[in-house]
Amino acid sequence: MTVFSFHINGDRVEVAAPDHWTLLEVLRYRLGLTGTKQGCDKGDCGACTVLVDGRPWLACLTLAKSVEGREITTIEGLMPAHRKSGGAGADPLQDAFDRCGALQCGFCQPGMILSARALLARNPRPTRVEIRHALSGNLCRCTGYTQIFEAVESAVAQACGTTTAARAWEAQRERACEREDTP
Amino acid sequence: MLRLPKFELRSPRTLSEAIQLLEEAGPAAMVIAGGTDLVPNMKHELATPELLVSLAHIEELRGVRREPEGALAIGAMTSLAEVAASELVQRFAPALAQACSLVAGPQLRAMGTLGGNVLLDTRCQWFNQSYFWRQALGFCMKKDGSVCHVVQGGKNCVAAASNDTAPALMTLGARLELEGPEGSRTTAIDDFWVADGIVNKKLGASEILTRIVVPPTPRGHRGAYGKLRDRGSIDFPLLGVAVRLDVDETERVAHADVVVTALAAQPKRVAKVGDTLRGQTLGSPEFESAVLAVAELARKQCRPLPNIPGDADYRREMVPVYVKRTLFAAARGDGPVHHV
């Protein structure tokens, strides 16, 4: 057992855990930060993505001891950071994922949002290709990726004060609503 | 849930301290760089070190530098993402930058290092599995058993070299600088491999790979990397093809090389490539015929085994396709070749 000293979501945290634990185990089973998901546990799926010094990082392959003293951000840290910097509500990316229905079961969502957050931090106006590339290490097994990419584009558009084009499913829904309204 | 077995982690600040730790602990110790290969292997009980010596805090092992005579010296602990994004590497060793850009996904490229990729353990679909899975099968000769499930009755392990950077570095004629208890040594990367899937590299006990040196490339140097994989994002290669084309001022090929990987225990250089392509002018019909001839040479010389996922016949049919596409990409000065 070792006492680790971490910088997580802006807080300095001291936590006792076995030496051979991964960062993922410490986050979930010592600190209760269960937003970081445990998926394949061997680096294939990206569900355990966190940010280490602003870069997407796989917590399941990271020895806890190796990230002592580095800045770690989990999904739980996005909203407080957004509010601390003067924003209201959730992080704009979380909001966009919600708005665009960019989830089904939600398991991949924390990793997706953190990979997208790191992308927007270094490239505030990415193209669709750049978004696809940045999220290529995160697997979604439910929805396909279209609405996830659209959510990132929507957050970018909102930050630029513009709107994205209506998505195919939105037009379909509107037509369906019109039909239902027709007596 | 895959848990790590117990071990001790030490993080020395200097190379000599790291070598001393390795020497004292002997075979019970292993080096950890990015951990993206070793940690899953430890979770599968494929590696069970008692001591891990982390190189993360040894600053001298990081960074890309251009030496006065034009060679590129890349620290073994430089991340794959940094090598892929390095303007020096993109300009002077494009095949290496492209290969690094196609290793796994963004998270693993940020964590994984060039040295770690060069020293990646060989992979096999009968080996890279959990202990429970391997035990149910009766194990294999690479770990805990004595038989080969790829080649029935086979005497040699045929686990596949799966490091994308190795073939690119071979086309570039790279040298590896190693530091060990006996001092430092340099070896050509071509001489580093052994045709044995159990351990396919000549790395001495307690030796650490410190730098990868790419000799100066001529002004007309072009290179590209092509990678076939299941998903266009985070998989190991089902096939990797690195090519080199050096052309003179009139765009005639002066030197050409093709190295293919993920077939067997070591990367394979396709024979007679230089003779076939030399003297051809890029873009000419003769060049295109010569590229097709090289693709056919590669198909004849490469015989993928059912050692990694992906049908072996399909991978064999893809050899000429990827050799051709990657050569054309290098001739155009673009790449990498992949399917996303």
Residue B153 predicted with pLDDT over 90 = yes
B267 phi and psi angles, rounded to 5 deg: -60, 150
Domain check: are B229 and B271 in the same one? yes
Domain check: are B78 and B175 in the same one? yes
Ranges A176-180, B135-139, B195-199: which has the least confidence: A176-180
Task: Determine contact, residues A58/B108, Cβ cutoff 8 Å.
Answer: yes
Average pLDDT score over residue span A80-86: 96
Could you say which DSSP state residue B28 is in?
G
Domain check: are B53 and B63 in the same one? no
pLDDT band of residue A150 (cuts 50, 70, 90) is: very high
Which pLDDT tens digit goes with each residue over A3-18?
999 999 999 999 999 9
Q: Alpha carbon A160 to chain centroid distance?
A: 20
Of A38, A41, A136, the CB nearest to B105: A136
Domain limits for position B176: 59-120+160-214
B140: in domain: no
Domain check: are B258 and B278 in the same one? yes
Q: Sort out which chain B residues have CB atoms less than 8 A from A134's CB and list them.
A: 106
Which residues are CB-contacts of B259 (< 8 A; sequence separation ≥ 6)? Answer: B167, B168, B170, B171, B241, B242, B267, B268, B269, B270
Residue B7 predicted with pLDDT over 90 = yes
Structure token pair of residue B317 = 């049919």
Per the structure, how many domains does chain B have? 3
Of A38, A41, A46, the CB nearest to B107: A46
Structure token pair of residue B303 = 């015989």
Rg (CA), chain A: 18
Domain check: are B85 and B201 in the same one? yes
Measured between CB atoms, does B107 come within 8 Å of chain A? Answer: yes
B171: in domain: yes
Which of B36, B107, B131, B229 to mutate against chain A (most A CBs within 10 Å)? B107
CATH number of the A2-77 domain: 3.10.20.30
Per-residue pLDDT, A166: 61
Between CA A105 and CA B207 the distance in angstroms is 47
B141: in domain: no
Strand pairing class (B51-54; B29-32): parallel
B137: in domain: no
**Residue where a domain terminates, one of B57, B84, B101:** B57
Percent above pLDDT 90 for chain B: 97
Domain check: are B63 and B181 in the same one? yes
Domain check: are B49 and B69 in the same one? no
Structure token pair of residue B159 = 């686990």
Between CA A155 and CA A91 the distance in angstroms is 10
- Residue A61: which of A43, A86, A76, A85 has the closest Cα? A43
Between CA A132 and CA A126 the distance in angstroms is 10
Domain check: are B259 and B308 in the same one? yes
Residue A182 predicted with pLDDT over 70 = no
B127: in domain: no
Residue B320 predicted with pLDDT over 70 = yes
Of B5, B43, B56, the CB nearest to A66: B56
Q: Do A61 and B105 touch (CB under 8 A)?
A: no
Mean per-residue pLDDT over chain A, rounded: 92
Structure token pair of residue B94 = 């494009």
Q: Is B155 exposed, middle or buried (0-12, 13-18, 19+ CB in 10 A)?
A: exposed
B210: in domain: yes
ipTM of this predicted structure: 0.93
Domain check: are B51 and B65 in the same one? no
**Residue where a domain terminates, one of B10, B34, B57:** B57
Top-level class of domain A90-170:
mainly alpha
Q: Where are the domains of chain A?
A: 2-77, 90-170
Per-residue pLDDT, B279: 97
Measured between CB atoms, does B117 come within 8 Å of chain A? Answer: no
**Residue where a domain terminates, one of B57, B76, B91:** B57
Domain check: are B191 and B302 in the same one? no
Measured between CA atoms, the residue of chain A closest to residue B35 is A61
Which pLDDT tens digit goes with each residue over B222-265?
999 999 998 877 889 999 999 999 999 999 999 999 999 999 99
Q: Please tell me the distance in Å from B41's CA to the nearest CA on chain A.
A: 9
Q: Do A137 and B54 touch (CB under 8 A)?
A: no
Average pLDDT score over residue span B22-30: 97
Between CA B34 and CA B104 the distance in angstroms is 13
Which pLDDT tens digit goes with each residue over B69-79?
999 999 999 99
Mean per-residue pLDDT over chain B, rounded: 96
* Residue B20's CATH number: 3.30.43.10
Interface A-B: count of C-beta contacts within 8 A: 85
E-strand ranges in A35-150 read 49-52, 55-58, 71-73
Q: Do A21 and B8 touch (CB under 8 A)?
A: no
B186: in domain: yes
Domain check: are B205 and B71 in the same one? yes
pLDDT band of residue B1 (cuts 50, 70, 90) is: confident
Q: Annotate B259-278 with b (16+ C-beta within 10 A) or e (fewer).
A: bbbbbbbbbbbbeebbebbe
Task: Determine contact, residues B164/B117, Cβ cutoff 8 Å.
Answer: yes
Q: Do A61 and B234 touch (CB under 8 A)?
A: no
- Residue B304: which of B292, B320, B328 has the closest Cα? B320
Domain check: are B285 and B186 in the same one? no
Which pLDDT tens digit goes with each residue over A31-42?
999 999 999 999
Percent above pLDDT 70 for chain A: 94
Task: Determine contact, residues A157/A92, Cβ cutoff 8 Å.
Answer: no
